[in-house]
Structure formats: structure tokens, C-alpha cells
Amino acid sequence: MKSLADLQAIRARTLENINMRKDEDACRVIIGMATCGIAAGARPVMLAFMDEIAKRNLKHVTVSQTGCIGMCRYEPMLDVVLPGQEKVTYIHVKPEMVPRIVSEHIVNGHPVEEYTIGAAKD
């Protein structure tokens, strides 16, 4: 930051991001970041989502954190919520799975079934 104009530009971008969180047409990615999720590797998964979304310049997607989801054996886990659709819960997510989830589910609207809780075999 070198000038007042730079600071004002940062403020404008930040306010735009805050307003985007209120956008009901936005896709939401909610990652479990309680102790169990972090221990299972949720932080690299969250960073992979943020990187992939930035790389694709997706403006309609927000990534947020939540606490314990209550199913520690499935961590890292996350929900993808697209407007007008039921949430989809992904389990045992690894960073290398993220590009496929973003491409197939967030961009094209088709959940990656084999990564979801519905595909879990206990």
C-alpha cells in the first residue's frame, strides 16, 4: 500500500466481498474446521478451495468455516450449497479432490457422488 487510493481500493474490494456473502445466488462451501477437522487435514482442503476458486475467478462462491459437524470419522468434511438445491456433504476430502469438486459440482452443478457421504461404506 503506497497511497490513500490504494487503501480505498482495498476497502472497496473488502466491502464487495462482504456484500457478496449476502448474495442468495451465491454458492457456499462450508468446511468443518473444529479440532477433529483440522487434525484430519481440513486446513489444506480449505486453502485448495480458495486457490481453485481464485484461479477460476469465480465471483459467486464463498468459502466459510464451521465448527464440529459431529461425524469425526468422516473428516475432513464439507458442504456445498448451490442456490435452490439441497446441500451436498463431501467426506474424507483431500486437496487433490478439490479441482474436480469445483469443476463438476460448483461450475457444472453435478455433485461428485463417489466423494459424498451417500457413498460412505462403514
pTM: 0.78
- Give me the number of domains the chain comprises: 1
Question: What's the pLDDT at 7?
Answer: 82
β 78-81/88-90 pair status: antiparallel
CA nearest neighbour of 65 among 87, 84, 50: 50
* pLDDT, averaged across the chain: 88
Query: Is 92 part of any domain?
Result: yes
Q: Is the pLDDT of residue 20 over 70?
A: no
Q: What's the pLDDT band for 122 if we cut at 50, 70, 90?
A: low
Mean pLDDT of 15-22: 59
Query: Is 4 part of any domain?
Result: no
List pLDDT tens digits, range 23-48.
Answer: 567 899 999 999 999 999 999 999 99
Query: Is 108 part of any domain?
Result: yes
Question: What's the pLDDT at 1?
Answer: 57
List pLDDT tens digits, range 56-68.
Answer: 999 899 999 999 8
For residue 50, what are the domain limits?
Answer: 24-119
Rounded distance, CA 90 to CA 112, Å?
Answer: 9
CATH number of domain containing 33:
3.40.30.10
Query: Is 109 part of any domain?
Result: yes
Question: What's the pLDDT at 22?
Answer: 53
Q: Is the pLDDT of residue 17 over 80?
A: no
Pinpoint the alpha helices (H) of 74-114: 98-100
